[in-house]
Structure 1
């Protein structure tokens, strides 16, 4: 499958311990066209023999889907890319944005922005190992290396390496002194810098990420860049994905109904539980569907407290969705 570049118009960010295959299955039934990302997978873990487990996904429904790799050794990343290629991912993305201590200790993530030549070598090695797009997700800077010129030097190396696209988190990362959570909140957002960077890279697809919470904000960003990437907003309020296909992809088909979504997720949970999955591992990604809705507290309670009890079955999903439907009817009547 060849990735349609339009898929990058709206994407859901890779998020550790969140965007697993259960999350992506759920999100895919809210939007048929948004580009979904895996959690970051390290190249070392893949070539040590973890590919079958780490790269497995619901191939029949998750496309378009990108896999994100973490690593800094070009040869190792090339081998990992070859493994990803076998699993038919639509895009292979290199993480140059994660600021966590664990990632830094492995010499990958945001700390690589200090070594643009190395990142360029990684991109070239990955491109040589696949015909699929190789892309990079980065920050606008790190620590004291945060000038606009520093960013352009990094990006110029990516252009020379013929990177397929850039996803830019519009905050710098402080690698010392701030936690990953603080790095998502403390450094100020600088969207204008990303807009100027888009003018610098010309035709190269450039997507913006960081602090985007509503589709109205997406509309504004799309006046300046090629795509938007939402992270926590899409996870905590997945209901906004209902409107993505019509709004950004021109798909006039009706969004999936709550009844149909309920049936899909119940069937999926039943199949996955026969394979050893726990119900709470599946329904935890659905908690945000009640965001701002009447009955949201009871809905979340069912999918958290009740889902971990012995004997919990997919019927719990139907019970929770009845609360959502009742709340929707109440809201429509008021």
Structure 2
């Protein structure tokens, strides 16, 4: 049914109930009040028919009145959200909702919302000559993807950055084969945490990161210091230069690690945070909590359970040496700059 057919039906309905008398005044004089009542009933019937036809028009498929906007979940200048993460869409950008985000097919100036990600370039990688790198056309373009699943926490993040009070694990998205893209997810011990993948040059990424808002992270312990497990049963880290995983489970080593971390009580005030980054920073998983300690470039320590404190520049390397020694690995002595 199209608008022309609807109009024709309305006209026919009105014509069917229009009084046949063309001179209402003479009809009133000739037939009196009973005639008036009949005409009122006729016009009431006409109103009912027109109202019913209007209801039919409103019930027609939306394609009659509005274009199909499949795949578009927001408009430029608005804010879109997924998994507790919100993005203020830059002016002139579009938004798109997809089941699985493919970084190699990302369009510039687009904010994607995706349940997960799937790199379809894997087939191209397998068939590439001599195993050469896959070239993604989206590399270097500016775009943002909010991805609900697929980015796990890491013991040794490449960077720990603070954005709007939230501590984020930042990793170059090397698995995407898109060098211009970095993935940012909250630095928590949760396996599933919504991440934002941002592509562009460094300045563009920083500007776009400012448009992303995450849920509030864990607060520092009320007693101060770092949030630590009530009982530590293991300590796991990665030993350079091969980054082989090393684990300590003996009570003596664990006690020394806990004592050193508990002694860190000088809090870092808002605005005084620095970026802990590799190489240099040391991450140690203590089971339910991961602690990352910086070197001389950022002499601070943070816990995924909450808390950020000042720390001696060589403490992370010292604790890593204790763990590595239990695995028969020597990483060398620490020098403090």
Of structures 1 and 2, the larger Rg is shown by 2
Structure scoring higher RCO (CA < 8 A, sep ≥ 6) equals 1
Q: TM-score, normalised by structure 1?
A: 0.25
Q: Of Structure 1 and Structure 2, which has the larger fraction of its residues in helix?
A: 1
Q: TM-score, normalised by structure 2?
A: 0.25
